[in-house]
A and B are shown apart, each in its own frame.
Chain A
Amino acid sequence: GENVEQHPSTLSVQEGDSAVIKCTYSDSASNYFPWYKQELGKRPQLIIDIRSNVGEKKDQRIAVTLNKTAKHFSLHITETQPEDSAVYFCAAANQAGTALIFGKGTTLSVSS
């Protein structure tokens, strides 16, 4: 089945720096790649997603890039702020396209 690897597991940056989180997936048939943010003690929430027919998508300070040939996708956060501190999860659909398989998460800490 689908396997999603996520790196790094922890990431510490200074306020204003950029942060990059990378994920790889195993199933070449996957074509939907969302990113979820989970603040401490809260539920995961979708922040951005990308489909395989595009290579990059931006939403204000966050962007996601996709390389289908290499089977990897990345989350980019620019001008980080303390409120960006959270756990970020990447995901890809399972082979049947009926459920999401998540990476292990990246704990991002932004210090001011």
Chain B
Amino acid sequence: NAGVTQTPKFRILKIGQSMTLQCTQDMNHNYMYWYRQDPGMGLKLIYYSVGAGITDKGEVPNGYNVSRSTTEDFPLRLELAAPSQTSVYFCASSYQDTMSGELFFGEGSRLTVL
């Protein structure tokens, strides 16, 4: 199993550009998440999904959109990139709900907005 795979690993965007961070998992996990990590700020939850067709906002959803059309894929869309979105983004998945299931993280995607 590849686990959780994120692409791209690195990306530089200009202000106002759009892009999609891809995330796919091959563990048949129901739950998927997007977090962003900024220095000294920990991991902030952007969006999450408890199954195909269901998505929910996390702590910092503004400026992002997600979709969950399949169990495997959970892409994160940035519509109008801003410097404040410069961050490392982690996708994660878990089989059960977070009250009992380990989160498996991808390797992260480092995004810079200039």
Partner of B102, one of A1, A34, A101, A105: A34
The proximity string for A residues 1-44 relative to B, scoring 1 for CB distances below 8 Å and 0 otherwise, is 10000100100000000000000000000011010100000111
Known A93-B99, A98-B97, A99-B33: A45·B105 in contact at CB below 8 Å:
yes
CB contacts under 8 Å to A, within B57-114, are: 58-59, 90, 97-100, 102-103, 105-108
Q: Does A62 contact B (CB under 8 A)?
A: no
Instruction: Closest A residue to B44 by CB, please name it.
Output: A102
How far is it, in angstroms, between the C-alpha of A102 and the C-alpha of B41 when the chains are bound?
A: 9
Do A103 and B31 have beta carbons less than 8 Å apart? no
Q: How far is the CB of A102 from chain B (nearest CB, A)?
A: 4
The answer to whether the Cβ of A73 comes within 8 Å of any Cβ in the partner chain is no
- Chain A residues lying within 8 Å of B45, measured Cβ to Cβ, are 94, 99-102
Determine the distance from Cα of A9 to Cα of B40 in the docked complex, in whole angstroms: 8
* Contact of A43 with B108 in the complex, beta carbons under 8 Å: yes
A104 at the binding interface (Cβ < 8 Å):
yes
| Closest B residue to A102 using CB positions | B43
Contact status A98-B59, CB under 8 Å:
no
Interface size class of A (residues with CB under 8 A): 20 to 34
- CB proximity of A62 to chain B, nearest CB, Å: 16
Q: Which residues of A contact B48 (CB under 8 A)?
A: 98-99
Residue contact A100 to B103, C-beta cutoff 8 Å: yes
Q: Which residues from chain B contact A44 at a C-beta distance below 8 Å?
A: 43, 90, 103, 105
Chain A 86-106 interface mask (CB, 8 Å, partner B; 1/0): 000100011001111111110
A99 touches B42 (CB 8 A): no
Q: Is B56 an interface residue (CB 8 A)?
A: yes
Pick the most buried of B31, B42, B48, B50: most chain A CB atoms within 10 A of its CB: B42
CA distance A35 to B45 in the complex (A): 16
- In the complex, which residues of chain B have a beta carbon less than 8 angstroms from the beta carbon of A94? 45, 98
**A100 cross-chain contacts in B, Cβ below 8 A:** 33, 45, 98, 103
A: residues with CB less than 8 A from B are: 1, 6, 9, 31-32, 34, 36, 42-46, 49, 51, 89, 93-94, 97-105
